[in-house]
Structure 1
Amino acid sequence: MASPKPVGKATPMVGGVLTFILFGIHRLFVGQIYSRSEAMSLVKALSDSSLYFGAAIASASATILALMLTMLGMMHNSSADIGIWLFKRVRMIAWFATISLCSAVALLTFSSIPIGEFEDIPTNWYVLSYYAIATLMAVLAGLLVTSILLILGAVRYLVNRLAPEVE
């Protein structure tokens, strides 16, 4: 059986960067803020959706970490020659999932600030808050897409290694 060629890191990274750019551009166009009331309403709307988004990213990242442990166990128990590439890929996936999980916790913490409850806050605070939340959401989207594409490459490699040959 011919040795399967590992997929490089470039494709997942490109996917993550493109997701970040597309998500970021969308948020920048939506976030054209001209007044304090607009800024406050945009931050409130974005905070509400970012709570759901952050929880979904945190859940996905924790699941990915658990699945990487399962994959490591399967690789360890396999009689096939897995190769160092897959172990390095699993390590990279674990790092991306951990960064995503920690960033999601930061987003959840930041998004849970009661936006409309404060008096005498300068307008630029709301504008900066909007862009901070939007940027963090774009980063998280990019990290998740990168993680998923890294997993796809690892799974394809592992299946090619372990699958019986089809004639």
Structure 2
Amino acid sequence: MNLSRYTKRAILGGVIALAVIGLSTFMLGKLSGYEAKELIKSSIDGLNTLCNTIALASATILALMLTLLGVSSNTSSSLKDDHYKHILQLAKLDTVIFVASILFFLIFNLPVTESENIPANWFSTIYYITLGISTILSSALVVVVLMLYNTIANIIKIVGLGIKDHPLAMQVQEEGEDDTD
């Protein structure tokens, strides 16, 4: 998959967010099964809220991308295929995040801490898995927002400010110009 510099920059922002959240988790130290079970009980509402928020944000971003496509197609400036490929990458990633957040919302609603069949030493693993999932979902949403920002900034530069030599703007030949050299 060919990634533009804008996408690479957005991914870097997501990796930085992932590192910050991961470092915070690492600083908590090792937990016993009982401590992890209590932390799961106290954090499950927050995890559900996080998944709901990410699903809502992803769905909203997908809906607003239709407006973005309308603006892109109704401009007097011609946009290169790379612009539309970038929007397609953004839509695919956003859809994956939407589906994942809904699935993990459902999983986080399972009454794990009430189950008698789960050994106590598993709760620390379950706790770290839930932290990992929430970290990855949050970081992925950061990537989507940064990609969306880059797309909007490019459209503003090309359409709103009329920058003709932008890498995503097609070079339109003026009448009377000859492209033979």
Partner of 2:48: 51
C-alpha RMSD over aligned residues: 1.9
- 1:31 Cα deviation after fit: 5.7
Distance 2:46 2:149 in 1: 28
**Residue 173 of structure 2: aligned partner:** none
Q: Which moved more, 1:139-148 or 1:119-128?
A: 119-128
Residues 123 and 29 of structure 1: is their aligned pair in 2 closer, same or farther, counting only changes over 3 Å? farther
- Mark the CA change 1:28 to 1:111 in structure 2 (over 3 Å): closer, same or farther: farther
The list of structure 1 runs, each at least 4 consecutive aligned residues, that deviate by more than 4 angstroms after superposition, is none
SS for the counterpart of 2:77 is: coil
Instruction: Find 1:144's aligned residue among 133, 136, 141.
Output: 141
Amino acid at match of 1:125: W
TM-score (norm 1): 0.87
2:71 to 68, 71, 74: 74
Who is 1:126 aligned against?
123
Moved more, 154-163 or 21-30: 21-30
TM-score under structure 2 length normalisation: 0.81
Percent same amino acid among aligned pairs? Answer: 27
Larger relative contact order (CA 8 Å, sep ≥ 6) = 1
CA distance in 2, matches of 1:165, 1:138: 39
2:86 to 85, 89, 96: 89
The answer for the alignment partner of 1:17 in structure 2 is 15
2:120 & 2:59 partners in 1: Cα distance? Answer: 36
**Offset of residue 106 of structure 1:** 2.1
The alignment of Structure 1 onto Structure 2 pairs a total of residues equal to 160
Q: Which stretch has the larger CA shift, 69-78 or 24-33?
A: 24-33
Q: Distance in 2 between matches of 1:66 and 1:113?
A: 30
Per-residue displacement from partner, 1:49-84 (whole Å, max 9, x unpaired)? 100101000000001111111111221222211222
- 1:83-121, Cα deviation, whole Å (9 max, x unpaired): 222111111111121111112112211211123321242
Contact 2:40 2:127 survives alignment (8 Å): yes
